Amino acid sequence: MQDAPLRQAGRMVVPLVIAELPKRSMPRRRYAIGFLGDGGYREALPALEVIAKDRTELDYFRGDALLAISQIDLHLAQRLAGEFADATGHLGPVVQVVLQGGSALKARNDHSCKW
């Protein structure tokens, strides 16, 4: 898995990963977003929310950020998803599954590409 080094390092790399997230050129950025969501790192929420809300971001980064947020704070993710009702591309289906919640969201997180 591409995110294995992050998982092995765990919490001690979280501040470094969060600091790099705003850099759109960050290598393996999707894996970093997924790592933060999978780990449930609440301190990542502000950075993830910025990505999810930024309409200049590529839609797959926005969708990944929204999924990561849903793993940390489902109510926040659902509130944000409500703001993106018109989303298309990768983000559109993510918005729908986050709004649906429950087993649909769990299945999406369990079967995602794991960034």
Higher confidence at residue 6 or residue 87?
87
Higher confidence at residue 42 or residue 88?
42
Q: How many separate domains does the chain show?
A: 1
Q: Is the pLDDT of residue 63 over 90?
A: yes
pLDDT at 47: 98
Mean pLDDT across the stretch 48-52? Answer: 98
Does some domain include residue 96?
yes
Does some domain include residue 55?
yes
pLDDT at 69: 97
Does some domain include residue 82?
yes
Does some domain include residue 29?
yes
pLDDT band of 102, cuts 50, 70, 90 = confident
- Structural domain of 75: 4-110
Does some domain include residue 115?
no
Residues 6+ apart with CB under 8 A from 65: 33, 48, 49, 51, 52, 57
pLDDT at 73: 97
Does some domain include residue 63?
yes
Higher confidence at residue 111 or residue 97?
97
Query: What do you get for the CA distance between the two ends of the chain, in Å?
Result: 10
Does some domain include residue 49?
yes
pLDDT at 115: 42
Report how far residue 7's alpha carbon sits from residue 37's, in angstroms, rounded to the nearest whole number.
Answer: 12
Q: Is the pLDDT of residue 70 over 70?
A: yes
